[in-house]
Structure 1
Amino acid sequence: MGGGEAILLGLVQGLTEFLPVSSSAHIRIISELIGGRDAGAAFTAVIQLGTESAVLLYFRRDIVRIVSAWWRALRGDRGTDWRSRAGMPEGARADHDALMAWFIVIGSLPIVILGVLFQHSIENVLRNLWITVLTLVGFALLLGWADRVGRKERPLDTLTPRHAVQFGFWQALALIPGVSRSGGTITGGLLMGYTREAAARYSFLLAIPAVFGSGLYELVTNLDGFGHAGVPGLGLTLVATIVAFVVGYLVIIVFLKIVSTYSYRPFVLYRIGLAAVVVLLLVTGALDPSVPVTP
């Protein structure tokens, strides 16, 4: 892989990470088309650090406010009992920012647990492109149905612990390429009655611990593997990550402006169209559905 290919993959990552179209599926497909093989789960996880850094920048004020409120609650500023430390002091108004911090923590548990338990399958079997085709189509139909039947009434400040965990399981489905992290959580949010904007904003915040944890883990554990066995080197990975950061930041701005106004129908049609293209490439031999199995 050369510099041009790295820039292209960074561009693709930035364009698709926050849209419900599955960035991992796009990276899996395009890396093989331009390089002759899958760039790998480690490369995909690391360049996602770029797009999540864009989330940190865009939501920096929200994040500072949430972390500050969480720390004040943990410190016991509003009481030393467990309810006060959780942001729900007895007889007083709940601190929604402190609660949001806890909701992000508990919502992150499903993807962490399932990611560890099924790491080998995620990095090998589940990257088969026939599985990607099925998830692209299946979750396109599910997203379209959720957008049509969801009440879209609940704002984000009505989030509950039970719903936070449910959001987390929807996010965990994105461990399978083709599902989409934002697509999964937004679909789940719509089915639980949240507005499009509320589901999208929580999706972005919920992804921060999971993506940074996964990216840093893959970076540390596969440090010697970059530049070998078809995996791009660290320099090219850094280039792709920077491009993903810049493009991803711009996509966040645009996506949050349109998400409360327009339906997800264009994304549904796009996912189905992409699946059809992948099927065509698979049956003609332009793409290899399988990936080299890693130990």
Structure 2
Amino acid sequence: MTLFHLILVAAIQGLTEFLPVSSSGHLVLLPALTGQPDQGLAIDVAVHVGSLLAVILYFWSDVRIAAAGSLRLAQGKVDTQGAFLALCLIIATIPVMIAGLIIKLTGLDEMMRSVAVIGWTMLGFGLVLYWADRTGASTRTASGWTLKDAFVMGLAQILSLIPGTSRSGITITAARRLGYGREGAAKLAMLMSIPTIIASGALLGADVIGEADWQMAKDGAFAAVLAFVSALLALALMMRLLKSVSFTPYVVYRVILGIILLVYAYS
């Protein structure tokens, strides 16, 4: 990979991973629209690691509580805030792990990597996010997360396996319909991303073990650092803006990009 291509991939992954605009959709579009070769699984793993470190750092206090609670959970005890949060995250992650494995084994993941699919999902799920954000109540906070809501959001997260849907976007949509405020919905979606990214990274990592060389390692390390920085900046900016701005700007971006992609795909 050229340095420019590497920077482009890492920056796109970092900037779009936690925004409700679909990082996977943008990464699929990059080679399709620019003619650049696919970045490959090794770089995919690297940028996922960088994004993962960014969200862990930003929500470190919650991550630390959940990590400590997971030890209690491993003992079969759900008697602390951290243990309950860890249980909710597990419940929210199981559906997408099962669905992701099925899609990978059946080859459906490659069948969905098209400009037309991304165009429709960008447009359709963007409008669904707008509807949920405008009609959803804001009476609940992230601290009131329940096992039932975690499962519902986990089911919604399955849709993120379709390129262009956006993992954060669809989980935020579900949370807003469940009555969580914008900041709370975004926070829950970000926390859900941690085990999901770990699971997907492990799955991708299994495919690249034994193929790595020194150059690939250097490219991966550089991509991970750049993805970490860009993801942290994007995450901090979004969480700050949600104090006063709705999700409408992201919806507008999705609708415009979706229409452009559909015109391109069918022309």
TM-score of the superposed pair, with normalisation by structure 2:
0.90
Matching residue of 1:108: 93
**Shift of the alpha carbon at 1:64?**
1.3
Matching residue of 1:60: 60
Conservation of the 8 A alpha-carbon contact between 2:96 and 2:158 = yes
Distance in 1 separating the partners of 2:47 and 2:200: 11
Which runs of 5 or more residues in structure 1 are unaligned? 76-81, 88-94, 285-295
Distance in 2 separating the partners of 1:131 and 1:158: 35
**Shift of the alpha carbon at 1:130?**
1.0
Matching residue of 2:152: 166
Matching residue of 2:246: 263
User: 4+ residue stretches of structure 1 with deviation over 6 A?
Assistant: none
What is the CA deviation profile of residues 147-189 of structure 1, one whole-angstrom value per residue up to 9, with x for unaligned ones?
Answer: 0100011111221111101111112211111000100100000
- Cα pair distance change 1:42/1:109, threshold 3 Å: farther
Q: What is the one-letter code of the residue matched to 1:66?
A: A
**Shift of the alpha carbon at 1:42?**
6.4
Corresponding pairs, count? 265
- Cα pair distance change 1:239/1:137, threshold 3 Å: same
Matching residue of 2:165: 179
More off after superposition, 156-165 vs 62-71? 62-71
Match of 2:139, SS state, is coil
Distance in 1 separating the partners of 2:19 and 2:260: 19
**Shift of the alpha carbon at 1:23?**
0.6
What is the CA deviation profile of residues 63-92 of structure 1, one whole-angstrom value per residue up to 9, with x for unaligned ones?
Answer: 1122223424655xxxxxx6xx122xxxxx
Pick from 197, 222, 242: which aligns with 1:239? 222
Conservation of the 8 A alpha-carbon contact between 2:69 and 2:85 = no
Conservation of the 8 A alpha-carbon contact between 2:120 and 2:262 = no
Distance in 2 separating the partners of 1:40 and 1:126: 17
Structure (1 or 2) with the greater helix fraction: 2
Alignment of 1:195-274 (within 5 A): 195-223=181-209, 233-274=216-257
Conservation of the 8 A alpha-carbon contact between 1:104 and 1:164 = yes
**Shift of the alpha carbon at 1:9?**
1.1
**Shift of the alpha carbon at 1:283?**
4.5
What is the CA deviation profile of residues 103-151 of structure 1, one whole-angstrom value per residue up to 9, with x for unaligned ones?
Answer: 0011100110001111144430111221111111110110000001000
Alignment of 1:55-94 (within 5 A): 55-72=55-72, 74-75=74-75, 85-87=77-79
TM-score of the superposed pair, with normalisation by structure 1:
0.82
Q: What is the one-letter code of the residue matched to 1:279?
A: L
**Shift of the alpha carbon at 1:264?**
0.9
Q: What is the one-letter code of the residue matched to 1:236?
A: D
Conservation of the 8 A alpha-carbon contact between 1:24 and 1:44 = no
Conservation of the 8 A alpha-carbon contact between 1:29 and 1:38 = no
Matching residue of 1:90: none
Identity of aligned residues (%): 32
- Cα pair distance change 1:4/1:141, threshold 3 Å: same
- Cα pair distance change 1:225/1:217, threshold 3 Å: same
Conservation of the 8 A alpha-carbon contact between 1:28 and 1:39 = no
Distance in 2 separating the partners of 1:69 and 1:29: 39
Distance in 1 separating the partners of 2:108 and 2:54: 25
Pick from 132, 135, 138: which aligns with 1:152? 138
Distance in 2 separating the partners of 1:277 and 1:121: 27
Distance in 2 separating the partners of 1:53 and 1:106: 22
- Alignment of 1:278 onto 2:261: yes
Q: Kindly name which structure, 1 or 2, has the bigger radius of gyration based on alpha carbons.
A: 1
What is the root-mean-square deviation of aligned Cα atoms in Å?
A: 2.2
